[in-house]
Structure 1
Amino acid sequence: MGITLQQVFRQHFDAVAAKRRLSSDMYRAAWAVRHCRTRELGGHVNSCPVGHVCQVAYNSCMHRSCPQCAWLPREQWLAGWKRRLLPTPHHHIVFTVPHSLNELWRYNKVQFSKLLFDAAFETLHELLADPKYLGAVPGILAALHTWNQKLDVHVHLHVLVTAGGLGPRKQWVKSQRKCLLPRKVLMIKFRGKFRAFLRERVAKRLLRLPPQLSSAGFQGLLQSVGSLPWNVKIHEAYLRGESVAIYLARYIKGGPMGRARLLEIRDGKVEFRYRLSALEGGDGKRQGIAQLPVESFIRRWLEHVPPRRMQTVRGTGLYCGNQHSQLTTARESLGLRPLEPLPQQRMTWQERCVASGYTAASRCKQCGATLVSHSPFPAGRGPPRSAFRRRFPGQVA
């Protein structure tokens, strides 16, 4: 039957917290996962307007790392970006940080992640501004991931880049290269920028060195990673950016472990599916089964909880979130109409289910009528009795 992340945390988190020193962000995430869609968060009642169904629905925690309530925020994010993405080919680029820098990330998650975004963005903008490669301003959307399939630390950036951009004369410039940029040139420039950013922040004491790493050791570490090739991948262009956006959306909300991958707890270990890497003979589709002691599983999962208010998704260039994006001008150069203003009222969860093709979740199984949400009740309380006696227009008494 499988287990849920909520079950793992409800049964074993207290034991882990008693042994491990955890941050306030980790405690907050654990509390949210344990109480998501339970009486502790309050709720409402969903009823069929004809009277066939009347069910209690507890509120979601809405924590971005909770897999149980990630679907709706994920669909809302994806709908917004599907609207904004230009209907042109897009490249998917992955910037990966060497694992020898993982300890530095652990002690400086916010600053380290910001520098990673800045290094990738500056690298792409500077290279693509060169007429030799493109000579235009592209649209760039990036999402930070810090894990691999086994929950190990694997800090990398997934970047969506338009295969073209807005030129100096406000015309659309189409990329003439199959892979947008030479991989080695991109890797060397990104590696140099990121190392320079790290060195500068440490010199200004804006980054905290791990206890086991001295200043001399840090300089030696930067020198050693500077002589190695970094893992930077450039995939061939997709006809539209939506496919990559859908891929990114899976990790925007819900954390690193979805319910479908969890199998069971056996002999004090959590068993889950993972995608086999190339070193394990994988092809991106084949799956294996991994086991982790419960304590290790919870500790690893918590390690990937982003600190509060830390941005894990950012746009720049034509996709930046301010008035300087020039997205309207880019649309005009492609012969497209300006984006229509967003509706004043956001979609209800019922409307979002219908728009995404999940109509069964928002409709009565007997008559197909859209369920009506009513009778909200506060945290720690149950639904009022009147909620189950409520009548709607046209409902038979």
Structure 2
Amino acid sequence: MAVTLQSIFQQHFDAFAERHRLSRDMFRAAWAVRHCRTRELGGHVNSCPDGHFHQIAYNSCRHRSCPQCGWLPKEQWLAGWRTRLLPCPHHHIIFTVPHSLNDLWRFNKAAFADTLFAAASQTLSELLGDVKFLGGRVGVLAALHTWNQELKSHVHLHTIVTAGGLDGDGQWRKPVKKCLLPRKVLMIKFRGKFKAMLREKLRQGRMKLPPGMTGDAFERLLRELTAVPWNVKVFDAYRNGVSVATYLARYIKGGPIGNSRLLSLKNGRVVFRYRLPHRRGGDGKRQAKMDLPVDTFIGRWLQHVPPRRFQTVRGYGLYCGNQHSRWECAAEALGVRVDVNAGDDLSVEEIRDWQDWCEAAGMSDVCRCPKCNKRLVSHHEFASGRGPPVGALPYRQSVKQGNVAGGMIA
């Protein structure tokens, strides 16, 4: 049987939890991954309308770090933003925090990430609001990532930025420079803002220093970071923002590693694939295998569980999503007809049922009867810890534990 994140946690998490101190968010994520699509979460029955086929479908945990049930939320998020992204070129800009600040992030995940979002968005809006670079209000979509391919801490922010903006007269302005912003100017301003915000939050008591770090040591660290360049990447403009949004969608749900990258779980060790970084001879495609003790693997995965209800994807400026965004004005300035009676719900495709989403993704076999090809119908929901009621299936013997565990009854 292929190894999955669920099987790793089912076999080894209890022993790991006895040896390590974990947060409530970590326990919640581990519980969700272990019980996703199992009897513990309840479910429903999918049946052919003509009775040829019956399938017991257990509910997904819907935790954003679970790789097993993140596909549908990602598709829905991307469908909504396809209608929201303005029809203009977009730049992909990455803001990376120095690794020497990783300990501060581990002990202040929400406050640290809020600071990163604020520093990056304010840097972009202030610089691009200057007529020297653009002189307009831009749209920014930002997504937080905290890991690299090896599951180590790598806190960075991916942003999609419109290559142009709306000026005070309601006209669309194009950037002065082809690169949108000079990388060095962007880096210096972002670095200054981020450090100033960290100092202010520590002064206000909204962040705490890691154990063993004094206030003087923290100030010394920030001064040392002023002398080194921070990693800020500005990519050439893409013709539209959908391609970059598609890239971001892979990370907003499903956690830091998918089941397809897991190779084996044997003798207390996990082997998985990862892409070699450029600094180690990688070209972005070359892959290697990593072999870790299972405790190390679980520990690395758990450190990337976001705080509960923390928003890891945010919009700013024209993409801020409120009545002050001026998105409609920008769309009209770009020649897009806006239906003022459509309301604020731009994710119209969210009303589609699960069969529509599967068929749109080319997975019709998942939602149709293998005999007559009719769409399966969902019925008879049942509570957690229970099996489907007898009346949901054609024969009483079909609901015996052996058949329920198999998940399908033909």
Superposition TM-score tier, normalisation by shorter sequence: over 0.9
- Residue correspondence of structure 1 range 52-201 to structure 2 within 5 A: 52-201=52-201
Secondary structure (helix, strand or coil) at the match of 2:157 reads strand
Compute the displacement of 1:368 (Å).
2.1
| 1:263 to 2:259 alignment | no
CA distance in 1, matches of 2:35, 2:350: 29
Give 1:167 deviation, angstroms. Answer: 1.2
Query: In structure 1, how many angstroms separate the alpha carbons of the residues matched to 2:365 and 2:285?
Result: 29
The answer for unaligned runs of 5 or more in structure 2 is 396-410
Shift of 1:351: 1.4
Q: 1:361 aligns to what?
A: 366
Q: Give, in angstroms, the shift of residue 179 of structure 1.
A: 1.4
Tell me by how many angstroms 1:344 deviates.
9.9
- Asked if the contact 2:132–2:176 (Cα under 8 Å) also holds between the matched residues in 1, the reply is no
Out of 344-353 and 154-163, give the one that drifted further: 344-353
Please tell me the residue identity of whatever aligns with 2:122: E
Mapped to 1, the partners of 2:169 and 2:361 lie a distance apart of 39
Paired with 2:176 and 2:349, the residues of 1 have a C-alpha distance of: 41
The answer to whether the 8 A contact 1:195-1:226 is kept is: no
Letter of the structure 2 residue corresponding to residue 82 of structure 1: R
Q: Quote how far apart the aligned CAs of 1:51 are.
A: 2.1
Aligned partner of 1:212 in structure 2 is 212
Please name the residue that 1:373 is paired with. 378
1:141-193 deviations in whole A, cap 9, x for unaligned? 00000000001000000000011111111011122422110000000000000
1:385 maps to a residue whose letter is V
Q: Aligned-pair distance for 1:246?
A: 0.6
Write the letter of the residue equivalent to 1:72. L
- 1:43-93 Cα offsets, whole Å, 9 max, x none, are 000111122210100000000100100011111111111110112111000
Task: Name the structure 2 match of 1:285.
Answer: 285
Q: Which deviations, in whole Å up to 9, do the C-alpha atoms of 1:193-248 show, x marking residues without a partner?
A: 00000111112222100111001001001111111100000011111101110110
The Cα offsets for residues 291-341 of structure 1, whole Å up to 9 and x where unpaired, read as 111001001100000011111110000000211111111111011011544
Distance 1:345 1:189 in 2: 39
Counterpart of 2:398 in structure 1 is none
Structure-1 separation of matches of 2:268 and 2:383: 36
Q: Which residue identity does 2:317 align to in structure 1?
A: G
* More moved, 92-101 vs 73-82: 73-82
Question: How many angstroms apart in 2 are the aligned matches of 1:356 and 1:172?
Answer: 35
The answer as to whether partners of 2:76 and 2:349 remain within 8 angstroms in 1 is: no
Q: With structure 2 as the length reference, what TM-score do the two structures score?
A: 0.93
Question: Structure 1: any 5+ residue segments left out of the alignment?
Answer: 391-397
Could you tell me how far apart the structure 1 residues matched to 2:280 and 2:254 are?
26
Matched, 1:249 2:249: yes
Measured after TM superposition, the shift of residue 345 of structure 1 is 7.4
Q: Report the 3-state secondary structure (helix = DSSP H, G, I; strand = E; otherwise coil) of the residue aligned with 2:249.
A: helix
Structure 2 vs 1, CA of residues 177 and 358 (structure 1 numbering), >3 Å: closer, same or farther?
farther
Identity of aligned residues (%): 62
Work out the CA distance in 1 between the residues paired with 2:175 and 2:371: 54
Q: Per-residue displacement from partner, 1:261-310 (whole Å, max 9, x unpaired)?
A: 01111232100000110012111111111111100100110000001111
Distance, in Å, in 2 between the alignment partners of 1:344 and 1:159 is 24
| SS of residue paired to 1:141 | strand
Q: Which moved more, 1:336-345 or 1:26-35?
A: 336-345
Structure 2 distance, partners of 1:105, 1:161, is 25
